């Protein structure tokens, strides 16, 4: 339930907070270099673009034609805004790689520019550039909404809510049930879901994670401008508790009666 409250509360948070977080964690000066390369590519300044390229890219015989093709994915209208929408850094013993994505808004459309960089020693070079035309902004494209969604989206949301409520119900019943031993362990188990069926909200695609635990058996999450992912888990602990509840109560009653016998004999 806590994860659901936090997830849906994020829907009310403006894009400024997301942007502030991305800007805060953006690597410098790599983020400025990536933005510079995209701007030079958009302006068809190919010599300046190639000056930042790694040797592996420069060895391609058709590098100029590829740059010409990629630059064509930028809309030709006036630039309205450009902002960082994705950043990822991976460090290994031999190098550090950076994956930076910028969203461009033009008067006549949108574009997504991605730059992959590697840093060896003190030298940072570009080893990949991709541009994609968008019909709308990532924020609009990946917003959480039920408008226009098919039955499977409604079913997933209903199941997620039902699983979370079921776990909460079992947890409350556990707290109110007399249990002789390890009541805290039973209570914790009712809150956990095992395995996660992940539902990608935009595409409707499913994938499954076997080794996974979720609080309240359900989740809804999105990182930055990425699509929303709904997670459904099997509330095995809650099911086991409710199945075993009568036996646990009987065992607790027997234990209490057995503890009372010595007192009666002593009296």
Domains and CATH numbers, the chain: 14-141 (3.10.450.50), 151-256 (no CATH)
Is residue 203 classed as helix, strand or coil in its secondary structure?
A: coil
Burial bucket for residue 262 (CB in 10 Å: 0-12, 13-18, 19+): exposed
Mean pLDDT per block of 10 residues along the chain (267 residues) reads: 43 54 82 95 95 91 93 93 92 94 94 95 93 91 87 95 97 93 93 96 92 94 84 96 92 78 57
Q: pLDDT at position 64, please?
A: 92
> In terms of Cα–Cα distance, which of 69, 61, 39 is closest to 52?
39
Peptide bond into 29 cis (omega under 30): yes
pTM exceeding the 0.75 threshold for the entire prediction: no
Contact at 8 Å (CB) between 231 and 197? Answer: yes
Q: pLDDT at position 194, please?
A: 96
Q: pLDDT at position 99, please?
A: 96
Q: pLDDT at position 146, please?
A: 87
Q: pLDDT at position 266, please?
A: 55
- What is d(CA 76, CA 111) in angstroms, rounded to the nearest whole number? 11
């Amino acid at each position: 339930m806590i994860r659901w409250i936090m997830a849906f509360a994020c829907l009310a948070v403006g894009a400024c907070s997301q942007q502030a977080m991305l800007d805060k964690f953006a690597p410098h000066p790599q983020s400025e270099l990536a933005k510079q390369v995209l701007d030079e590519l958009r302006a068809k300044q190919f010599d300046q673009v190639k000056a930042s390229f790694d040797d592996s890219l420069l060895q391609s015989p058709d590098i100029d034609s590829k740059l010409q093709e990629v630059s064509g994915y930028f809309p030709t209208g006036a630039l309205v805004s450009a902002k960082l929408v994705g950043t990822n850094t991976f460090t290994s013993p031999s190098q550090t790689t950076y994956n930076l994505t910028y969203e461009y808004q033009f008067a006549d459309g949108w574009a997504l520019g991605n730059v992959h960089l590697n840093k060896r020693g003190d030298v940072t070079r570009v080893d990949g550039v991709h541009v994609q035309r968008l019909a709308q902004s990532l924020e609009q494209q990946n917003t959480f909404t039920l408008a226009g969604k098919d039955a499977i989206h409604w079913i997933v949301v209903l199941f997620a809510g039902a699983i979370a409520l079921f776990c909460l119900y079992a947890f409350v019943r556990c707290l109110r049930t007399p249990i002789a031993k390890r009541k805290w362990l039973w209570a914790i188990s009712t809150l956990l879901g095992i395995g996660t069926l992940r539902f990608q909200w935009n595409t409707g695609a499913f994938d499954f994670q076997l080794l996974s635990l979720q609080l309240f058996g359900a989740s809804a999450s999105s990182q930055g401008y990425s699509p929303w992912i709904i997670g459904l888990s099997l509330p095995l602990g809650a099911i086991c508790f409710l199945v075993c509840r009568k036996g646990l109560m009987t065992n607790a009653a027997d234990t209490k009666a057995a503890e009372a016998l010595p007192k009666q004999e002593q009296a």
